[in-house]
Structure 1
Amino acid sequence: MIEAVANLLKVLNSETEPGQISLALCLSMVAGLTPVLCPHNLLVLLLVLVLRVNLSSFVLGWAFFSAVAYALDPLFDRMGLAILTAPRLTGLWTGLYNTSWFRLDRLNNTIVMGSLIFSLVLFVPGLIVFNLLIRRYREHILAWVRKTRLMQAFKATRLFEVYQSVSGWRGGAI
């Protein structure tokens, strides 16, 4: 886990496009908030691999959102129940239930439906917010850390040179 956090910090401090990191976090939100064994998570994993988003961000985000999902399960249950029992949507759900894909993905389960709708609704706003936060982090916090006397002193040491050569952070990631 410490290695994953270190990889995320490495990615945040690198020249990686913020959109790749944001997309990884949003896809991890969909995969993490919904139950693990749902087939739509295979589609999310395929998107992660095809779109070449940052894998460290995805894995760490998945772990984070999976932990958050347990706290939000009552909300997902209420949302899913409201969606699945809405009188205007009864015909739609009946028709979809008669397809094997709908039953295979367990979308008739209130928690699965509620968590999927919740994560899809937050996908685009999350993409914008994560992108903004990453850019702000790089502009303000990272720039401040690089200017501190402690970091300047650390960069002047032989230990930092060895650290850069071993970690592969050449190019001034810190």
Structure 2
Amino acid sequence: MLSQLLSFFKALNSDAGPWQMAFAGGFALIIGLTPLWSVHNLIVLLLVFVLRTHIGTFFVFWAIFSGFAYLLDPWFDQLGYAWLTQPGWQSFWTSLYQNDWWQVARFNHTITLGSLAVSLVLFVPVAVALRFSVVKYRAKWMPMMNKLKVVQALKATRLYDLYSKVN
């Protein structure tokens, strides 16, 4: 995890595309908020590896959003339960569950349904906010951070030189 965190900060300070980092954070939102062993998470992982996203950013935000998931699971459960018990939707959910694919997708699980719905709704706003944050950080905060004596001292060490050569 430490190497992923270092990779994230290196990408934040490099010329890595802001959208690469933003989409990595958006995909991490989906995997982090939903239960791990789900079919839709396999699809998201496939997208992460096929599309040009920053893997270090993905793993850092996955850990962050997983922490939020534990706090939000009761709310996801209530949301999923409300959707699954709507009288007008009973026949829809029943027909989905009769299909083998939808049984594997586990949308009858209240937390899975609620968390996936919330994460899909938040995907675009989170990706746009992360892209905006990366651009603002690089324009405003990165020059100030590089001027700090602590950062200059760390960059002057032999350990930093070894890390730079390895990566």
| Pairwise same-fold verdict (TM > 0.5) | yes
SS at match of 1:139: helix
Of 143, 164, 167, 1:167 maps to 164
| Aligned equivalent of 1:22 | 22
Distance 2:151 2:68 in 1: 38
Task: Please tell me whether the aligned partners of residues 27 and 44 of structure 1 are also in contact (alpha carbons under 8 angstroms).
Answer: yes
| Aligned equivalent of 1:47 | 47
| Aligned equivalent of 2:89 | 89
SS at match of 1:122: helix
Distance 2:11 2:104 in 1: 36
Letter in 2 for 1:119: S
| Aligned equivalent of 2:110 | 110
Deviation at 1:166?
4.3
Distance 1:2 1:74 in 2: 30
Distance 1:155 1:72 in 2: 38
Identical amino acids, percent of aligned pairs: 38
Change (3 A) 1:58 1:135: same
Deviation at 1:40?
0.9
Change (3 A) 1:69 1:153: closer
Listed as ranges, the gaps of 5+ residues in structure 1 are none
Task: Please tell me whether the aligned partners of residues 76 and 114 of structure 1 are also in contact (alpha carbons under 8 angstroms).
Answer: yes
User: Are 1:128 and 2:128 an aligned pair?
Assistant: yes
Aligned length: 167
Letter in 2 for 1:167: S
SS at match of 2:15: coil
Task: Render the CA deviation track for 1:36-83: whole Å, top value 9, x for unaligned.
Answer: 111111000000011021111111111111121111110000110111
| Aligned equivalent of 1:142 | 142
SS at match of 1:108: coil
Letter in 2 for 1:163: Y
Normalising by structure 1, we get a TM-score of: 0.87
Distance 1:101 1:54 in 2: 31
Deviation at 1:146?
2.4
Distance 1:120 1:135 in 2: 24
Listed as ranges, the gaps of 5+ residues in structure 2 are none
Task: Render the CA deviation track for 1:110-142: whole Å, top value 9, x for unaligned.
Answer: 000001001001001111111111111111110
Distance 1:65 1:152 in 2: 28
Q: How does 1:51-70 map to 2 (within 5 A)?
A: 51-70=51-70
Change (3 A) 1:166 1:108: closer
